[in-house]
Structure 1
């Protein structure tokens, strides 16, 4: 890829990022397509893994380094949660009526996840037991509790309807909540889950939806601190998906640095948050 092509490539990433997110619109709270009952007392909706010093320390200071460097934030996959971050996600889940979504804070629970896979009736059994089993085999034998940031990381699993988070960052956990909310509002969840795996464009739509929801959620709550952090984290994170999508078409080393324009644009865009919020308040009132 020559210099001119590289410039055009990076410029296109900025254009895509610019059109993915906007805080100048009204936030819509979740209304799941298939309402589900609350969790039972012996199976709480929110669980946190017991601290395991050696595992969490190795995960935080070694395996998570790639993600920390790419997104330039030391709290990425740090395997420790402040009460503030946990409450952000708990409040989000409740406000968006996600009553059947399991949330695991830095927890490794393969047996429980296999049971949830079997109980999930919103995904076609054939797809659930083939693709869902593959995702759980990875979860079981390549545990994010240790390897997050190197293999895997914060994610929502539609086949078990579980949010697994390892980063003490509200922007990240709400983004994963956005995935759960997005799936909850789909009538045909099986097809929607399969769409994520479509080469080039599959992940781009899902990731944009989740990040847009997170950013607008913070705007709805007038949380300027988290709005700024969302711009610093979610814009570069999304640009890595764009790089991966383009890499599916034209393999090139340049796709590895697609995070850079995301960092630049996210930090530039956050300077306009006050004016965007002012415009938003005019529109929603």
Structure 2
């Protein structure tokens, strides 16, 4: 019984089940779509509760990891993804896909970076500092990226700032109360479960909202999948090989690779659903991304094993 419960509560099972449920429920998930932003805010609240500002003292120890993370996640990954989106969709009938991919490029990193890095014995200090540093950086970079590549006619900077306050600032403030010593042990014990099942609901909504496209437009699925194969898997593999050639430590390479390629599909999807409720095509890339993020840990763990075996 205990083994069965462990299996049912395993991250990979929960995320895979969310994809299946989204496909089965389809458009019916729109009933709860309006609540997705609040569910994601709760997820962020528990994710950020594991962060203490004391880890940034002295501040100079945090500056370099945050700067590297900004360079990798916003500039390098963002440039690659937006360049591909621009070439393929900027002036086509699939312009909604371009909007969806820009939302992903502008999104903060996925909180799954930290557990993924831990599982593969990466540099946890770099991962935690980089991820939470990027959350703060998103308050500046997300509106700028959207303003440059989408303009203010599609999404107003003020509206984006409001979403960032709801998904980053408020969860950060509430998370400080969750760190009170009287309740922190309980929070730490339940954090992963709450995050996993919170993501279950959000991913179910994401996939359900785009299910009609996922099931009826295989060519679109293949094209968007190819975009993520290049921007995540190929870019991540090339970066890993380059860092290895430069003699960087494996734990740093692993953590920085995750920082490079993993964006929050939940954030970009919730933004798409909030601002473009009548255009499911905008959330479609985020639905595909949620699958590719889940599969990336499997691909990358095997990739690292092969590369390290070869020496």
TM-score normalized with structure 1 length: 0.28
Q: State the TM-score, normalizing by the size of structure 2.
A: 0.26
Question: When you count helix as a share of all residues, which structure comes out higher?
Answer: 2
Larger RCO (alpha carbons 8 Å, 6+ apart):
2
